[in-house]
Structure 1
Amino acid sequence: MNVAELQRLQSIWGRDDGRLPTPRDRTAADGGFADTLSRAINAVDRAQKAANEQVEAFVAGEQENLHEVMISMNQARLYFQLMTEVRNRLLETYQELMRTQI
Protein backbone atom coordinates (compact mmCIF):
# COMPACT_ATOMS: atom_id res chain seq x y z
CA MET A 1 0.00 0.00 0.00
CA ASN A 2 1.49 3.32 -1.01
CA VAL A 3 1.32 6.59 0.90
CA ALA A 4 -1.50 8.06 -1.21
CA GLU A 5 -3.70 5.00 -0.64
CA LEU A 6 -3.01 5.08 3.09
CA GLN A 7 -3.88 8.78 3.28
CA ARG A 8 -7.08 8.16 1.34
CA LEU A 9 -8.09 5.40 3.76
CA GLN A 10 -7.26 7.62 6.71
CA SER A 11 -9.52 10.35 5.40
CA ILE A 12 -12.36 7.96 4.58
CA TRP A 13 -12.39 5.78 7.68
CA GLY A 14 -10.87 8.16 10.21
CA ARG A 15 -8.09 5.74 11.17
CA ASP A 16 -4.35 6.14 10.95
CA ASP A 17 -3.42 2.50 10.22
CA GLY A 18 -5.46 1.99 7.04
CA ARG A 19 -7.74 -0.66 8.54
CA LEU A 20 -11.51 -0.52 8.54
CA PRO A 21 -13.11 0.46 11.85
CA THR A 22 -14.36 -2.30 14.14
CA PRO A 23 -16.97 -2.19 16.91
CA ARG A 24 -14.15 -2.15 19.47
CA ASP A 25 -12.84 1.10 17.97
CA ARG A 26 -15.90 3.06 19.08
CA THR A 27 -15.44 5.75 21.65
CA ALA A 28 -17.95 7.58 23.78
CA ALA A 29 -17.84 10.44 21.27
CA ASP A 30 -19.13 8.20 18.45
CA GLY A 31 -22.79 8.54 17.61
CA GLY A 32 -23.24 4.81 17.15
CA PHE A 33 -24.79 3.15 14.15
CA ALA A 34 -26.35 6.27 12.65
CA ASP A 35 -23.04 8.13 12.80
CA THR A 36 -21.17 5.19 11.26
CA LEU A 37 -23.73 4.92 8.48
CA SER A 38 -23.53 8.65 7.84
CA ARG A 39 -19.72 8.51 7.61
CA ALA A 40 -19.93 5.57 5.20
CA ILE A 41 -22.39 7.43 2.97
CA ASN A 42 -20.13 10.48 3.01
CA ALA A 43 -17.16 8.27 2.10
CA VAL A 44 -19.05 6.91 -0.91
CA ASP A 45 -19.95 10.45 -1.94
CA ARG A 46 -16.34 11.61 -1.63
CA ALA A 47 -15.14 8.63 -3.68
CA GLN A 48 -17.68 9.43 -6.42
CA LYS A 49 -16.63 13.09 -6.47
CA ALA A 50 -12.94 12.17 -6.56
CA ALA A 51 -13.55 9.82 -9.50
CA ASN A 52 -15.47 12.53 -11.35
CA GLU A 53 -12.67 15.02 -10.75
CA GLN A 54 -10.11 12.52 -12.06
CA VAL A 55 -12.16 11.92 -15.22
CA GLU A 56 -12.61 15.66 -15.80
CA ALA A 57 -8.88 16.23 -15.30
CA PHE A 58 -8.08 13.43 -17.75
CA VAL A 59 -10.45 14.82 -20.39
CA ALA A 60 -8.98 18.30 -19.91
CA GLY A 61 -5.46 16.92 -20.35
CA GLU A 62 -4.38 17.73 -16.80
CA GLN A 63 -4.16 14.05 -15.79
CA GLU A 64 -1.91 11.83 -17.88
CA ASN A 65 -2.18 8.56 -15.94
CA LEU A 66 -5.17 6.67 -17.25
CA HIS A 67 -4.59 3.83 -14.79
CA GLU A 68 -5.07 6.20 -11.84
CA VAL A 69 -8.35 7.41 -13.34
CA MET A 70 -9.54 3.82 -13.80
CA ILE A 71 -8.51 2.86 -10.27
CA SER A 72 -10.42 5.83 -8.87
CA MET A 73 -13.50 4.95 -10.91
CA ASN A 74 -13.38 1.29 -9.86
CA GLN A 75 -12.91 2.25 -6.22
CA ALA A 76 -15.96 4.52 -6.36
CA ARG A 77 -17.97 1.74 -8.02
CA LEU A 78 -16.95 -0.76 -5.33
CA TYR A 79 -17.84 1.66 -2.54
CA PHE A 80 -21.25 2.20 -4.13
CA GLN A 81 -21.83 -1.55 -4.51
CA LEU A 82 -20.87 -2.11 -0.88
CA MET A 83 -23.25 0.62 0.27
CA THR A 84 -26.03 -0.86 -1.87
CA GLU A 85 -25.48 -4.30 -0.31
CA VAL A 86 -25.56 -2.81 3.18
CA ARG A 87 -28.82 -1.05 2.34
CA ASN A 88 -30.29 -4.27 0.96
CA ARG A 89 -29.33 -6.19 4.09
CA LEU A 90 -30.79 -3.52 6.34
CA LEU A 91 -34.02 -3.53 4.37
CA GLU A 92 -34.23 -7.34 4.51
CA THR A 93 -33.64 -7.26 8.27
CA TYR A 94 -36.31 -4.62 8.76
CA GLN A 95 -38.81 -6.59 6.68
CA GLU A 96 -38.03 -9.76 8.64
CA LEU A 97 -38.58 -7.93 11.92
CA MET A 98 -41.91 -6.62 10.65
CA ARG A 99 -43.01 -10.15 9.77
CA THR A 100 -42.07 -11.51 13.19
CA GLN A 101 -45.10 -12.19 15.34
CA ILE A 102 -44.86 -11.42 19.03
Structure 2
Amino acid sequence: MIGINCLQPMPEMFNCSTAAKPASSAKNIMDSFSNILNQGLQKVNTLENQSNVLTQMLVSGEVENIHDVMIAAEKAEVAINLTMNIRDKVIRAYDEIMAMGSR
Protein backbone atom coordinates (compact mmCIF):
# COMPACT_ATOMS: atom_id res chain seq x y z
CA MET A 1 0.00 0.00 0.00
CA ILE A 2 1.29 3.45 -0.94
CA GLY A 3 1.38 6.11 1.73
CA ILE A 4 -0.24 9.50 1.44
CA ASN A 5 3.18 11.17 1.42
CA CYS A 6 3.81 10.09 -2.18
CA LEU A 7 1.10 12.44 -3.50
CA GLN A 8 2.69 15.44 -5.17
CA PRO A 9 0.95 18.81 -5.54
CA MET A 10 0.25 19.91 -9.07
CA PRO A 11 2.31 22.99 -9.96
CA GLU A 12 -0.59 24.44 -12.01
CA MET A 13 -2.54 24.95 -8.79
CA PHE A 14 0.06 27.39 -7.51
CA ASN A 15 0.60 29.27 -10.76
CA CYS A 16 -0.93 32.74 -10.42
CA SER A 17 -1.28 33.19 -14.17
CA THR A 18 -3.87 30.38 -14.33
CA ALA A 19 -5.90 31.70 -11.41
CA ALA A 20 -9.49 32.67 -12.08
CA LYS A 21 -9.84 36.09 -13.63
CA PRO A 22 -12.46 38.54 -12.39
CA ALA A 23 -15.76 38.51 -14.26
CA SER A 24 -16.01 40.70 -17.33
CA SER A 25 -17.84 43.94 -16.99
CA ALA A 26 -21.42 44.21 -18.22
CA LYS A 27 -20.29 46.52 -21.03
CA ASN A 28 -17.84 43.92 -22.35
CA ILE A 29 -20.55 41.27 -22.27
CA MET A 30 -22.99 43.54 -24.10
CA ASP A 31 -20.36 44.43 -26.71
CA SER A 32 -19.62 40.74 -27.23
CA PHE A 33 -23.32 39.87 -27.57
CA SER A 34 -23.82 42.78 -29.95
CA ASN A 35 -20.90 41.65 -32.11
CA ILE A 36 -22.20 38.08 -32.27
CA LEU A 37 -25.68 39.31 -33.19
CA ASN A 38 -24.34 41.65 -35.88
CA GLN A 39 -22.16 38.92 -37.39
CA GLY A 40 -25.12 36.55 -37.53
CA LEU A 41 -27.36 39.11 -39.20
CA GLN A 42 -24.63 39.99 -41.70
CA LYS A 43 -24.28 36.32 -42.61
CA VAL A 44 -28.04 36.01 -43.14
CA ASN A 45 -27.96 39.13 -45.30
CA THR A 46 -25.04 37.75 -47.33
CA LEU A 47 -26.89 34.48 -47.95
CA GLU A 48 -29.99 36.38 -49.07
CA ASN A 49 -27.94 38.59 -51.40
CA GLN A 50 -26.16 35.57 -52.91
CA SER A 51 -29.52 33.91 -53.51
CA ASN A 52 -30.87 37.03 -55.23
CA VAL A 53 -27.78 37.39 -57.44
CA LEU A 54 -27.90 33.74 -58.50
CA THR A 55 -31.63 33.99 -59.20
CA GLN A 56 -31.09 37.05 -61.40
CA MET A 57 -28.24 35.28 -63.19
CA LEU A 58 -30.48 32.26 -63.81
CA VAL A 59 -33.26 34.44 -65.21
CA SER A 60 -30.83 36.28 -67.50
CA GLY A 61 -29.29 33.02 -68.70
CA GLU A 62 -25.86 33.60 -67.18
CA VAL A 63 -26.21 30.51 -64.97
CA GLU A 64 -27.57 27.24 -66.28
CA ASN A 65 -27.19 25.15 -63.13
CA ILE A 66 -30.52 25.50 -61.36
CA HIS A 67 -29.26 23.14 -58.66
CA ASP A 68 -26.85 25.76 -57.27
CA VAL A 69 -29.53 28.45 -57.42
CA MET A 70 -31.98 26.30 -55.48
CA ILE A 71 -29.38 25.42 -52.85
CA ALA A 72 -28.56 29.11 -52.36
CA ALA A 73 -32.27 29.95 -52.08
CA GLU A 74 -32.85 27.20 -49.50
CA LYS A 75 -29.82 28.27 -47.45
CA ALA A 76 -31.17 31.82 -47.39
CA GLU A 77 -34.66 30.63 -46.45
CA VAL A 78 -33.37 28.45 -43.61
CA ALA A 79 -31.22 31.31 -42.30
CA ILE A 80 -34.15 33.74 -42.39
CA ASN A 81 -36.47 31.25 -40.67
CA LEU A 82 -33.88 30.64 -37.96
CA THR A 83 -33.45 34.38 -37.47
CA MET A 84 -37.21 34.84 -37.15
CA ASN A 85 -37.45 32.01 -34.61
CA ILE A 86 -34.65 33.52 -32.55
CA ARG A 87 -36.37 36.90 -32.69
CA ASP A 88 -39.64 35.34 -31.50
CA LYS A 89 -37.89 33.61 -28.59
CA VAL A 90 -36.16 36.83 -27.56
CA ILE A 91 -39.48 38.68 -27.61
CA ARG A 92 -41.13 35.95 -25.53
CA ALA A 93 -38.27 36.02 -23.02
CA TYR A 94 -38.50 39.81 -22.79
CA ASP A 95 -42.26 39.62 -22.24
CA GLU A 96 -41.76 37.04 -19.47
CA ILE A 97 -39.17 39.21 -17.76
CA MET A 98 -41.47 42.24 -17.95
CA ALA A 99 -44.35 40.17 -16.56
CA MET A 100 -42.21 39.16 -13.55
CA GLY A 101 -41.97 42.76 -12.45
CA SER A 102 -45.74 43.21 -12.41
CA ARG A 103 -46.45 40.17 -10.23
TM bin, normalised by shorter chain, reads 0.5 to 0.7
1:49 partnered with 2:49: yes
1:95 partnered with 2:98: no
Where structure 2 has 5 or more consecutive residues not aligned to the other structure, the ranges are 1-27
1:59 positional shift:
0.7
**Other-structure match for 2:63:** 63
**Other-structure match for 1:39:** 39
- Runs of 4+ aligned structure 1 residues displaced above 2 Å come to none
Give the superposed CA RMSD.
Answer: 1.7
Aligned AA (1:81): N
**Other-structure match for 1:84:** 84
Q: Can you list the C-alpha shifts for 1:6-42, whole angstroms capped at 9, x where unaligned?
A: xxxxxxxxxxxxxxxxxxxxxx8xx311111111111
The CA distance in 2 between the partners of 1:45 and 1:58, in whole Å, is 20
Answer with 1 or 2: which has the greater Rg. 2
User: Under a length normalisation based on structure 2, what TM-score does the superposition of the two structures give?
Assistant: 0.67
Residues matched between the structures, number: 74
**Other-structure match for 1:17:** none
1:82 positional shift:
0.4
The CA distance in 1 between the partners of 2:99 and 2:85, in whole Å, is 21
